[in-house]
Amino acid sequence: MNNFDEDIKRLGTNSHKYDNLELLYGLSPRETLPMWTADMDFKAPKCVFDALDDLSANGIFGYYGGQESYNLAVKQWYQLKHNWSLQSDSISVVHGLCAGISIAIRAFSNEKDGVIVFTPVYHSFLSIIKQNNRKLIEQPMYVENNEYHIDFKQLERSMTGKEKIMLFCSPHNPGGKVWSVEELKKVAQFCEKHDLLIISDEIHNDLVFKQKKHIMFPIAVPEITDRLIVLVSSSKTFNIAGGLMGNVIIENLILRKKFQQAHKAIGTMPNLFGMKIAESVYTHGHYWLSDLLAYLEKNIELFDNRISEINGLKSMKLSATYLAWIDFSDTGMSEKDIINKVHRTAGIAASVGSTFGKGGEKFMRFNLACPQAKVIEAVKRLETTFN
């Protein structure tokens, strides 16, 4: 079993989470617990090292080719895990899913067209839409039974006819929600009615805990594939995001051709290192992933139990992802005070809720993919600060 308790030094290793902390937050990575960026403080599975050793032994690092074995590994993974039968042709490899989203937005909409997101949502969604000069349409979700729900009626009332795309996050980051088939069907019906393309970002689909099962959008609503683009990746699951690779899966031929044209327009080829390690984890990563999920579940339980004892703090039900979404509204503090207390008094670099869009203002997001000792230290600091 992997030793997830191992405290691995990341400062000084060109880690975004550690080495950019001072620059971006003005916080010292020596005194602050970095719990923001969504990568894990765990070593990747051994098969990743094996793949890199093979490359290294060969000693030539030229352009990547011969993608069939990679496609096969991806297909087998999704067949086994989600009963999803893919055609090799439907897979386009991009340099990370954010790049995939951006290419899709350019391929399927024009400047000023509307792109709908359900907020709070992964912050890069918001910036990619804005940077591409599309109109960001934030539809805030409401909380019921301690999880997010979509207000379709309100969204319906706000529609102008200029909306082209719905950028959907499944499972949801930062809410940690696994959508039900009924909910996915409602999303599909809404998009059908308003002629919207659905980009379903399912990067967190493997990070789902025992009590829930993630259903891929095309499995939940097979009849929607003529307006569906699915994004998946091994990077989040196996902590190999530095490999900058991900899959854009498009079953409909017309949509696929259009995407491929926009993809070609940026002139990239698959990254050799990312592709080799991704193929390796899709082939050999199963046991490591079950160990990881068991470890993460304990971290989450520990964090949730202790958080629920702290005055004014509430943890959202986390069925997927390792990102705890904590509501500070009952502290009665302003957003500025909440951030200040968490970042400076407690010394925890958690992600700021408002960066996830409307509805996130009184929340902070804590990354729990770290050795348990760090989770315990974080709750102690929060207890001292807020109790």
Q: Which is nearer to ligand PLP, 125 or 190 (CB)?
A: 125
**Nearest approach, Cβ of residue 35 and ligand PLP (Å):** 13
What's the burial of 268, exposed, middle or buried (CB within 10 Å: 0-12/13-18/19+)?
middle
Q: Given the structure tokens 């069925």, which residue do they identify?
A: 319
**Nearest approach, Cβ of residue 145 and ligand PLP (Å):** 23
Coil, helix or strand for 80? helix
Q: Which is nearer to ligand PLP, 81 or 381 (CB)?
A: 81
315, β-bridge pairs: 326
Q: Which is nearer to ligand PLP, 139 or 235 (CB)?
A: 235
Q: How far apart are CA 121 and CA 86, in angstroms?
A: 28
Residue with nearest beta carbon to ligand PLP: 96
Q: Which is nearer to ligand PLP, 296 or 310 (CB)?
A: 296
- Contact residues for ligand PLP (CB under 6 A)? 38, 96-98, 122, 169, 173, 201, 203, 233, 235, 241, 246
Dihedral sign from CA coordinates of 358, 198, 237, 289: positive
Q: Which is nearer to ligand PLP, 235 or 315 (CB)?
A: 235
168, β-bridge pairs: 200
Provide CB contacts within 8 A for 66, sequence distance 6+.
none
Q: How far apart are CA 75 and CA 67, in angstroms?
A: 12
Q: Which is nearer to ligand PLP, 38 or 196 (CB)?
A: 38
**Nearest approach, Cβ of residue 17 and ligand PLP (Å):** 11
Q: Which secondary-structure segment (H or E) carries 277?
A: helix 272-284
Tokens read off for 326 = 């904590």
What is the b/e burial string over 103-121, where b = at least 16 CB atoms within 10 angstroms of the residue's CB? bbbbbbbeeebbbbbbbbb
**Nearest approach, Cβ of residue 101 and ligand PLP (Å):** 7
**Nearest approach, Cβ of residue 334 and ligand PLP (Å):** 27
**Nearest approach, Cβ of residue 59 and ligand PLP (Å):** 28
